[in-house]
């Protein structure tokens, strides 16, 4: 799963780079399609495996902590997915 996160991150970086350089839609579409396909496959795994396991393990206190973190993220400058090509 972590490897897949890195691959998805890399596709998003590739799309951003292409957009910034003024690439044509024809140049961006294949990367977009790869991102879309990767997300679909990855989300399917998360829906079937990760989320049900989380439901079994998640306590009320941990749920509150997660919601607080999401509401007030403290993301370090330059943070990147550890499995992306940038790390």
For the stretch 10-30, pLDDT in tens is 999 999 999 999 999 999 999
CA distances from 14 to 6, 30, 48, 84 (A): 12, 11, 28, 11
The Cα 2–Cα 72 span in angstroms is 24
> 62-83, pLDDT tens digit by residue?
989 999 999 998 888 888 888 8
pTM: 0.74
7-45-47 Cα angle (round to 5): 125
């Amino acid at each position: 799963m972590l490897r897949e996160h890195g691959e998805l991150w890399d596709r998003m970086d590739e799309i951003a780079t292409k957009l910034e350089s003024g690439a044509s839609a024809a140049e961006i579409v294949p990367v977009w399609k790869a991102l879309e396909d990767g997300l679909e496959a990855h989300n399917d795994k998360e829906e079937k495996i990760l989320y049900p396991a989380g439901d079994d393990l998640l306590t009320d206190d941990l749920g509150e902590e997660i919601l607080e973190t999401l509401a007030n993220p403290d993301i370090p400058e330059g943070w990147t997915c550890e499995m992306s090509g940038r790390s």
